[in-house]
Amino acid sequence: MQYTLIDVFKGAGLLIIPLGICSAVAVFIICERAYALRRLAVIPQDLADALIAGRPLMGGKHTVLSRIVDFAEQHPSDEGAVKAFARLEVNRMQRGVPYLDVIYAAAPLIGLSGTVTGLLKVFSQISPDTGLPDPVLFTQGVALALSATVIGLSIAIPSLVGAGYLSRKVDNYAAELEVLIERILQRARK
């Protein structure tokens, strides 16, 4: 028997609602963070090149790097504050990514709960007279009960990949910013 996507969703039961919420939140976080963490919004190349070469700073306004430069220019004698502000900016870049960790841990467990409740429903339909289930209904019920786990895993895997990719991207930017902070501090002292 062929199952449609609707049958699979019905097989997940009421737990399709939290699974759907997990899916929507994961897609939103991955898309929003991927857009917010593009190079042009964090460390534009022209601004970084100007900092390294000691040229006048142009372009790259409203970026992470420009906010750090502006803060350093306002607090030229406080290197600790500039470094703390840079750490705060890195922390802002990580916004939302920890929720992906929760989603990729919770979605399979929610799916497993759906499978267990589905299996309970299937096993409760065993005939009390014969002690045997209807073989066709039994196998269909088990197959549909497992759909909740499949849905949970299909949410967890992209969330895990997205969290890893975004975390690595933030780590790379943090390393670049660490190098550029020295140039920013030199510039602010002048």
- pLDDT, tens digit (0-9, with 9 covering 90-100), for 115-156: 888 888 888 777 777 777 777 777 777 877 788 888 999 999
Q: What is the C-alpha to C-alpha distance for residues 44 and 61, in angstroms, rounded to an integer?
A: 9
- Under the banding of pLDDT at 50, 70 and 90, the label for residue 1 is low
Q: What is the pLDDT of residue 127?
A: 72
Cα 169 vs. chain centroid, distance in angstroms? 12
Extract the tokens encoding 83.
């470094």
Tell whether the model's pLDDT for residue 60 goes beyond 70.
no
Q: What is the pLDDT of residue 77?
A: 84
Tell whether the model's pLDDT for residue 59 goes beyond 70.
no
Mean pLDDT over 5-28 rounds to: 86
Name the residue among 79, 86, 95, 55 with its Cα closest to residue 176: 86
Q: What percent of the chain has pLDDT over 90?
A: 48
Q: What is the C-alpha to C-alpha distance for residues 8 and 121, in angstroms, rounded to an integer?
A: 16
